[in-house]
Structure 1
Amino acid sequence: MSSYNILGAVLGATLSLTLLASDPALAAGSHGGGHGMEIGKPGDPAKVSRTIEIIMNDNFYEPESLDIKEGETIRFIVRNAGEFVHEFNIATAAMHEAHRPEMMMMVEHGVLEPDRINHEAAKAMQASMGHGMHDEANSVLLEPGKSGEVIWTFPEHAELEFACNVPGHYETGMHGKVKLSH
């Protein structure tokens, strides 16, 4: 079975489970909504205290968890070392759950292919639905072999994780905890 057939099976199963298990309010959530101080804010590059390299493999991250000080501004250099498109997204577990149906919609409209981002399909989706590619400061979506950067200032007292919300990826282990300390 080819990797495309396997991915198709995973995507189909994920869609079925998502539709069965999703709370309608979460399924209707907007990626652009809710990115308030509860998860932090875009960081000022002049205030970066350190840089952390994140490597995205096909079903896990390196490192698998992060130790961050409350209020710290981190530069993440994110590299996709896998064979598929992956996302590095900093949010709460509930926000990730609410975002996954939007990522599934991107697959359904041909924006996210297993190993590439179809920018023409993203433009068509944007024109027809008002939603195509997302561009949020807490997230980067990368094709295989590509790198990106996220600069983020972390809040106090939050339960955060980083995750890949491409359909099926979170469920196969592409998420990790952010441990905030004083």
Structure 2
Amino acid sequence: MYRLLIASALALASLPALAEPAQRFPFGEPAPAAKATRTVEVLLKDIAFEPKSLQVKAGETVRFVLVNEGQLPHEFNLGTKAMHEEHQKEMVAMQGKLYSAAGGHQGMDHGQMAGHAQGAEQAGGHAHGGGNTVLVMPGQRAELTWTFRTSAPIEFACNVPGHYQAGMVGPLTIE
């Protein structure tokens, strides 16, 4: 019952974000997988990415295949350091709302916070509103396809609370 309450609260909290169209960022925008000129597999482990850094070319459309080999839910999020900081605040706020909605139950973990992602998409992930993030449950695969427009200092990161701070972040160089 508790997990159902958590999943329902997360589903409701994510509806406005899902209704928004994918947006364009200074460094690029989401793209259909069919437009990809290259595929890159990224392993999400506890608590690390493999590879630890990525390189792309301006104008290139890359299909990221994300495989969560860890025991925790993880995000793959493209953005600047400031964008990651903002997204982390949103993730912590969502976690706090879930705690309140659950009646103050103890023992909230990342699996409960991210439970809404289970079954959200056939690829095993849950896309957030901007198109630059996907949440991948343990043992699942997901995809994110992106067209990189211009050189910018960006990172790929997991913004599940505490993961970025534990080192689950890497540089993405756009040449």
TM-score calculated relative to the size of structure 1: 0.69
1:119 aligns with 116
User: CA offsets, 1:108-142, max 9 Å, x none?
Assistant: 2338842352339xxxxxxxxxxxx8343211101
Alpha-carbon distance between aligned partners in 1 of 2:141 and 2:135, rounded to the nearest angstrom: 9
Deviation at residue 87 of structure 1 after TM alignment? 0.3
Root-mean-square deviation (Å): 2.7
User: CA offsets, 1:71-105, max 9 Å, x none?
Assistant: 11000010111111110000111100111011112
Q: Any gaps of 5 or more consecutive residues in structure 1?
A: 1-29, 121-132
Q: Percent identity?
A: 42
1:76 aligns with 64
1:126 aligns with none
Which residue identity does 1:115 align to in structure 2? G
1:67 aligns with 2:63: no
Which aligned pairs between 1:129-140 and structure 2 lie closer than 5 A?
A: 134-140=128-134
Contact between 2:128 and 2:134, CA under 8 Å: does it hold in 1?
A: no
Contact between 2:43 and 2:69, CA under 8 Å: does it hold in 1?
A: yes
Which residue identity does 1:114 align to in structure 2? H
1:3 aligns with none
Give the total of aligned pairs.
140
Contact between 1:107 and 1:113, CA under 8 Å: does it hold in 2?
A: no
**Partner of residue 43 from structure 1, selected from 17, 24, 31:** 31
SS at match of 2:41: strand
Alpha-carbon distance between aligned partners in 2 of 1:42 and 1:54, rounded to the nearest angstrom: 17
Contact between 1:54 and 1:77, CA under 8 Å: does it hold in 2?
A: yes
Q: 1:93 to 1:65 in 2, by over 3 A?
A: same
1:5 aligns with none
SS at match of 1:102: helix
TM-score calculated relative to the size of structure 2: 0.71
Contact between 1:39 and 1:92, CA under 8 Å: does it hold in 2?
A: no
Alpha-carbon distance between aligned partners in 1 of 2:86 and 2:25, rounded to the nearest angstrom: 18
Alpha-carbon distance between aligned partners in 1 of 2:24 and 2:146, rounded to the nearest angstrom: 12
Which aligned pairs between 1:14-29 and structure 2 lie closer than 5 A?
A: none
**Partner of residue 159 from structure 1, selected from 150, 153, 158:** 153
